[in-house]
Structure 1
Amino acid sequence: MNAKFIMIMLDAIFGINAVYAQTNLKTQLRVKDSLLFDAVLKTCDLKQVEATFAADFQYSQDKGDGKASNLTSRTEFVGNIARRCAVKTAQFQVRRELVAGSDAASLVAPDYATQSGIQRFYLSAGVQPEALVEESHFTRIWKLQKGDWQISREMDYQIATHDPQEAAAKNDPLYKQVTAADSSLFAAYNQRNITEFKKWFARNLEFYHDKGGLSHYTDNMENFEKHFQDAANFSRRELVQGSQQVYPLNGYGALEIGVHRFYTSLNCKEQLTATANFINVWHQENGRWQLARVISYDHR
């Protein structure tokens, strides 16, 4: 058995293991999701509810009504559920449905994972037929705590369409602003302009990376500055056309989802070195856009 054959076999085995791990993670989070909504809407099991949320949990919801949405803390969020359970009656029933095939999950660090999908909420009142009252896109960051996955962040956006391109509404001012910000950010990256590059990141930056884990503003800016100063370490970013989606976060900014590629130069010849998915949370303040949260995952 030669060395090349062994390497091929190892690549195949690790590839199968990676697919299995990803599928297993998706199943685990789907089960946790189901248990959470059973506890919230059916059994009112507040112990189960509390066990699902990390101590630093924060929630943001855009209802599409033009009203500003604020971050909700764990204490307030669980308290709202408790108050709803206290006045729950048999006359009004709420059912939540995870749209089949819409959910995705990915490990972004050993102790962090992202989950996204589309959910629908139905209300039945007395003898009236069940009616769809909300459809929304959710994005969560899960944190592994003592062997158990807990939700650390959740952002919900009410949607009116299943078509990502229609949801993005390319002719919408928000889409144009966010895509322009993305373009300017990575123009600075490709040009190695560290001064301009730094301007696009908020000081409270949280950067989740499936290879590097969680990092913050200072560490990232120091690493990028070293990267830019190394003339031999050329890198160029390219956005995959058609992959970009933008959703409003009313009162805060916007959510950007997409796929990008990174190229390096070897012997004066450019070559593709990585393709990855990304989720960016942009904060707008006084007309200025900055990245507050970055999730970079599924590097391949």
Structure 2
Amino acid sequence: MKQTIYFILLCFGIGLNLNAQTDEYAEVYKTLKANDSLIFDRAFNHCELQHLEFLIPEDFEFYHDKEGVINSKDVFINVMKNGICNPNNTTKSTRELVDGSLEIYLLKNNGELYGAIQNGIHRFFETTNGNKVAGSTAKFSHLWILENNKWYLKRVLSYDHQMK
């Protein structure tokens, strides 16, 4: 009888812990997916670059398999302003997240959440004179860091760009 009670308590305790982890994962997933939308849908697709100001830290790093390395927030925002978001462009690039591709891996230090890795696949399109054509498809890995209850996109890896 005593063993049965201990077993039930043990299972109940493990169940509570798994639910807490699942809730934490779901909350982080939801938050980072929303942040992904701010960065790509709002900043990249619609050139609302103000979203980058509060999501990217000064020591931001971006590694691209075709375009090289960007190693600061200011340089990245300037590249966006003068490149993709340049009002003189005749072609506009847009990005879509591939449905079902987003994955989140929590990072903890002694049980305390401090960050997350966000992996996924995205597809790019080029629109010229109203004609939208498929560009490349690529994989990405983002390192998000949690500081003072705020998520920052610290590192980006954009790789395996393939023309489809």
TM above 0.5, one fold? yes
Structure number with higher relative contact order (C-alpha < 8 Å, ≥ 6 residues apart): 2
Task: State the SS of the aligned residue for 1:55.
Answer: coil
Q: For 1:54-203, what aligned pairs fall within 5 Å after superposition?
A: 54-63=57-66, 69-84=68-83, 87-88=86-87, 92-109=91-108, 110-128=113-131, 130-160=132-162
Amino acid at match of 2:79: N
Give the aligned partner of residue 27 of structure 1: 30
Q: Deviations over 1:77-128 (max 9, x none)?
A: 1111122366325853322111111111111122211111101111111142
Give the fraction of aligned pairs with identical amino acids, expressed as a percent.
Answer: 22
Contact 2:43 2:50 (C-alpha < 8 Å) held by counterparts: no
Q: Which stretch of the first structure deviates more once superposed, 94-103 or 39-48?
A: 39-48
Contact 1:119 1:135 (C-alpha < 8 Å) held by counterparts: yes
Give the aligned partner of residue 52 of structure 1: 55
CA distance in structure 2 between the partners assigned to 1:41 and 1:112 by the alignment: 23
Give the aligned partner of residue 190 of structure 1: none
Give the aligned partner of residue 230 of structure 1: none
Contact 1:97 1:119 (C-alpha < 8 Å) held by counterparts: yes
CA distance in structure 2 between the partners assigned to 1:12 and 1:23 by the alignment: 16
* CA spacing shift, 1:51–1:60, aligned 2, 3 Å: same
Corresponding residue pairs, total: 157
Contact 2:118 2:144 (C-alpha < 8 Å) held by counterparts: yes
Contact 1:134 1:158 (C-alpha < 8 Å) held by counterparts: no
* CA spacing shift, 1:92–1:84, aligned 2, 3 Å: same
For structure 1, the residue ranges without an aligned partner over 5 or more in a row are: 162-300
Structure 1 or 2, whichever has the larger Rg, is 1
Q: Deviations over 1:108-155 (max 9, x none)?
A: 122211111101111111142x11112111011101122121101111
CA distance in structure 1 between the partners assigned to 2:80 and 2:10 by the alignment: 53
Give the aligned partner of residue 10 of structure 2: 7
CA distance in structure 2 between the partners assigned to 1:55 and 1:33 by the alignment: 18
